[in-house]
Amino acid sequence: MMGKRRQRREQQRRLERFQQAAGVRPEQEDRVVPGHPGRSLARVALGGFLTFAGIGHLTFSRQEFQAQVPSWVPLDPDLVVLGSGIVEIALGLGLISGKRPKMFGHLATGLFIGVFPGNIAQFVERRDGFGLDTDRKRAARLLFQPVLVDWALSSTRQD
């Protein structure tokens, strides 16, 4: 009787032989992230964070997020919050899935860079929200944005 690990390896070999015979080779980008378990954990954690934040945009924190939309954005704040929530959920689930990690990592990076002007507006306009009720706390939030960018890129890097 074969062990489970051995069965999985045998199934993987059969799949690879079939793909080779059929002339099909999965693209590197379509594979689940191989490599360092810490990197995978960081990717899944970021995905969970984004999914949770996106759900918050659509439900329990909706009004709080609406108050964070800068006054210069020419769209209805509720529409901005709903749209960004949907995007965050999609990115979060994509990161958790492990499929096309580099793409989802770059898209998450784009999101973090894209919302940065709103974070600056929150600081400049002294808008309170999510416990950011002092200039010092709002400034610390600004300094956290590069950490999010690095988190998205480093957790989805493929060696």
- pTM assigned to the model: 0.77
Q: How far apart are CA 116 and CA 126, in angstroms?
A: 15
Mean pLDDT (10-residue bins), the chain, 159 residues: 76 76 58 70 97 97 91 95 97 95 96 95 91 94 96 90
Q: How far apart are CA 17 and CA 24, in angstroms?
A: 10
Sketch the domain layout of the chain as residue ranges: 38-154
Q: What is the 8-class DSSP label of residue 74?
A: -
What pLDDT was estimated at residue 154?
Answer: 94
Q: What is the 8-class DSSP label of residue 34?
A: P
Question: What is the SS3 assignment for 86-97?
Answer: HHHHHHHHHHHH
What pLDDT was estimated at residue 29?
Answer: 45
Instruction: Give the CA diameter of the chain.
Output: 68
Place of tokens 């992230």: 33
What pLDDT was estimated at residue 84?
Answer: 97
